[in-house]
């Protein structure tokens, strides 16, 4: 039986999985599952560096769209699986918001502009609503990245944020009507490029 290895190189999308066990012994068994076949793909299993008790692993090269139940069943032979999840690795990049305790830390984060994070060159901009310039917008974040992982990225650089959030790439539109055209223009000037609910919004006058 053939197994596909690194299908992303051939144009197919892959996903990333997360599996958490009740004890570290099961994790050690799971690490030996690297090279096993799941859904026709040869998977890679790595210890999750964020797991303080050593009970969580990251599973790479999963077929896109794999149901989490199948991931859980695959690793059930290693021990009791407490949690399993599958995230799409490829997809439209998302944006995020990061706040730091001081302006100096925020400026240090700005110097990371252009840094590559899991294959994505991320960009920063001071949030237009941040009067003290401690809040930044982050762009081109990998779609599967969670806020904890974004925070860890900064922690590893020696600049720990006090708040992190990533938003979905899904978007929708809305209409706001003003009695005075000047008020509408003021809204554009003040809010275009701002963050609402964790997502960057675009505001323009309806022609």
Residues 69 and 167 in one domain: no
pLDDT of 81 above 60: yes
Count of helix runs (H) and strand runs (E) in the chain: 5, 14
CATH number of the domain where residue 14 is located: 3.30.70
Cα within 13 Å of Cα(55), Cβ side: 11
Q: What is the mean pLDDT of the chain?
A: 83
Between CA 30 and CA 45 the distance in angstroms is: 7
**150: enclosing H helix or E strand:** helix 147-156
User: Do residues 41 and 99 make contact, with C-beta atoms less than 8 angstroms apart?
Assistant: no
**Which of the two residues, 50 and 83, has the higher pLDDT score?**
83
Return the pLDDT at 112: 94
Domain boundary among 88, 114, 139: 88
pLDDT of 103 above 50: yes
Alpha helices (runs of H) in 62-118, residue ranges in sequence order: 68-75, 103-110
Neighbour tally for 131: CB within 10 Å: 7
Q: Indicate the number of domains in the chain.
A: 2
Residue 207: pLDDT band by 50, 70, 90 thresholds?
A: low
**Which of the two residues, 8 and 44, has the higher pLDDT score?**
44
Q: What is the largest CA-CA distance in the chain?
A: 69
pLDDT of 4 above 60: no
Return the pLDDT at 199: 53
Residue 138: left (phi > 0), alpha (psi -120 to 50), or beta? Answer: beta
Residues 101 and 170 in one domain: yes
Between CA 203 and CA 173 the distance in angstroms is: 10
User: Do residues 79 and 24 make contact, with C-beta atoms less than 8 angstroms apart?
Assistant: no
Between CA 131 and CA 10 the distance in angstroms is: 47
Radius of gyration of the chain (CA): 21
Residues 69 and 83 in one domain: yes
Return the pLDDT at 89: 59
pLDDT of 12 above 60: no
Return the pLDDT at 26: 96
Between CA 161 and CA 74 the distance in angstroms is: 37
What are the pLDDT digits (tens) for 122-175? 999 999 888 899 999 999 888 778 888 899 999 999 999 999 988 755 445 566
Say if strands 44-47 and 56-63 run parallel, antiparallel, or are unpaired: antiparallel
Domain boundary among 56, 88, 120: 88
CA–CA distances in Å: residue 155 to residues 69, 96, 192: 33, 16, 30
Residue 79: pLDDT band by 50, 70, 90 thresholds?
A: very high
What is the domain range of residue 100?
94-200
- Mean pLDDT of the region 106-127: 90
159 found inside a domain: yes
Return the pLDDT at 174: 62
Return the pLDDT at 74: 96
Question: Scanning the structure block, which residue is given the tokens 């999840």?
Answer: 85
3-state secondary structure of 137: strand
Domain boundary among 49, 69, 88: 88
Residue 37: pLDDT band by 50, 70, 90 thresholds?
A: very high
Residues 100 and 79 in one domain: no
**184: enclosing H helix or E strand:** helix 181-191
Return the pLDDT at 19: 94
At residue 85, φ and ψ (nearest 5 deg) are: -150, 150
What are the pLDDT digits (tens) for 184-201? 888 878 777 665 644 556
Residue 9: pLDDT band by 50, 70, 90 thresholds?
A: very low
């Amino acid at each position: 039986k053939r197994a596909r290895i690194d299908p992303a190189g051939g144009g197919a999308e892959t996903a990333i999985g997360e599996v958490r066990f009740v004890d570290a012994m099961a994790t050690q068994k799971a690490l030996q599952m690297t090279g096993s076949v799941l859904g026709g793909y040869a998977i890679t299993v790595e210890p999750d560096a964020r797991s303080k008790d050593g009970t969580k692993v990251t599973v790479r090269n999963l077929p896109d769209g794999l149901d989490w139940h199948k991931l859980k069943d695959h690793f059930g032979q290693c021990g009791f699986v407490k949690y399993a999840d599958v995230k799409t690795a490829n997809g439209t990049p998302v944006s995020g918001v990061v706040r730091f305790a001081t302006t100096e830390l925020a400026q240090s984060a700005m110097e990371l502009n252009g840094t590559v994070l899991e294959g994505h060159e991320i960009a920063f901009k001071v949030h237009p609503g941040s009067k003290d310039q401690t809040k930044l917008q982050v762009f081109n974040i990998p779609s599967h990245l969670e806020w904890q992982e974004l925070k860890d990225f900064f922690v590893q650089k020696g600049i720990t944020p006090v708040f992190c959030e990533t938003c979905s790439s899904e978007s929708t539109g809305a209409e706001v009507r003003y009695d005075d055209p000047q008020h509408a223009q003021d809204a554009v000037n003040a809010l275009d490029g701002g963050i609402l609910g964790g997502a960057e919004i675009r505001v323009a006058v309806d022609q």
